Structure 1
Amino acid sequence: MEIEGRTAVVTGAASGIGAALARALHERGARVLLADLAEAVTETAAQLGQPHWIGDASTAAGVDDLLAAASRELGDIDLYFANAGIAGAPRIGGEHDWDRILDVNLRAHIRAAERLVPRWQTRGEGYFVATASAAGLLTQIGQAGYSVTKHAALAFAEWLSVTYGDEGVGVSVLAPMGVNTKILWGEDPSSLTAEELAAQRAVSEAGTVLEPADVAKAVMAAVEAETFLILPHPEVLDMHRMKGSDYDRWIRGMRRYQAKLRGSGAAS
């Protein structure tokens, strides 16, 4: 899809990948509404001279309000970037942890698509970009909720593309490894537990930690080419192929890697 002259909504746009996506869209001539829970989205949007919305885009009511605001500010929505995400609780977590991470990392995508896809079917075009993670193709050491919801976000994007791709609905899914954002390093890196540090190192040491602007550039190229799977870290594809070629071997290797990371964390 040609980006210039289009209208777009980006969630999780106050900072990190979301802010970089909004900036890249703006630079390519799109009109963008930046959405986030954080008040900082006001400043980010002001820097770009674009409108913003503050609220929870993971709830049904929040998505309704966001899309209404976007329609007022931009008119018909051409592109939707379901980018907001959280890391979630360590290990399995509890009932409340699961409710929250499912809402933010998965149901937010479903709720937005539920409302946008019928509009795009009628128009014959529209584009949905889901931010997942390499954890959606591989897994995440330390955080069950993150791993499960990123797998699910990728699967939902696949389903959207298979089901509506012939009706003009474009879909891409972003699956990076380490990106220089708060979701990787945490709000206060000095306060990380050994468990949290192991989870962080599993990502940050697996490959290059990219800047959000580099990731956004890859996303723009994928949208323009209408490429489904966006892998800013190309080595993820090799890892995924290795996983699929011998699942038991891969799981044994991940157990060893996890033990190594936890041992290193304890030693440090």
Structure 2
Amino acid sequence: MDIIIYGIINSVTLALMALGFTLVYGVSRLPNFAHGALYVLTGFLAWFFINQFTVNYFLAGLGALLITGVVGALMYHLILVRVRGMAISEIIASYAIGLAILEGLRYGGLKGGTYVLRPFVDGSTSILGVPVDYQRILVVVLGALLVGMLWFFVNKTRLGLALKGMAQDERAALTLGIDSDRMAVVSMALGSVFAGLAALVLMPLGNIAVEAGYHVLIMAVAVCIVGGLGSWTGAVFAAFIIGFAQILTDVILGAHFQVVVALIAIIITLILRPSGLFGRQKELEERV
């Protein structure tokens, strides 16, 4: 039962890490390799507001998300729009921005152990004989809520339908008057906010550290490649595959092999099905 319960928790954790990345790529076909940096930035900003301005957790988180969303939008508007359509340049530019943010925070003194966000709820309980702390239960509940909110936004709101149309067929969306660059800015802002929401929920389980940014980026890329780049359903499905595989590896070999599982999943997917489990690219496109 502990494998099942903690497998679910780990899977929802990975889904939270990946939703923002796959949202941006699904709409604008832009691989946002600054995703992990935005994750760490949100956690640090929330800590800063709580400790320097003594505001409550909710207002600190809201302010951090607002700033992170603006940073994501400015990233596209000022830099990424100039290299859009050039895949390698997009990766290099977004990764360079993320690297600048993370190493800037490191240079400013951000180190694990010093910066900690307190859990939303203290204490623990037992589920089917397995001890689980309340914060991890909250991760599962909020993760399911965020996935549901994303589905509702994409399928039931005017802006969400515009984003969905852009993701399905950009040329057709352009003929209907949908502004591609505007949708890309919106997707970057929303993707950054989702990265920030993941940080606010997950960082109370550990420390706010620069290394978390690189870890989150690797996990997000692994989930999105296995599920199929741009597929939100695939990202959630892949999160459960990798999540349970990591828990089994933890039990058998040890926790330090969990990242190896994600990397092996990327390699196997690229060899057997380059477009991912839910990818829509054709075999010819995969091999060109």
By percentage of residues, which structure has more strand? Answer: 1
By percentage of residues, which structure has more helix? Answer: 2
Is the TM-score greater than 0.5? no
> Which structure carries more relative contact order (alpha carbon 8 Å, separation 6+)?
2
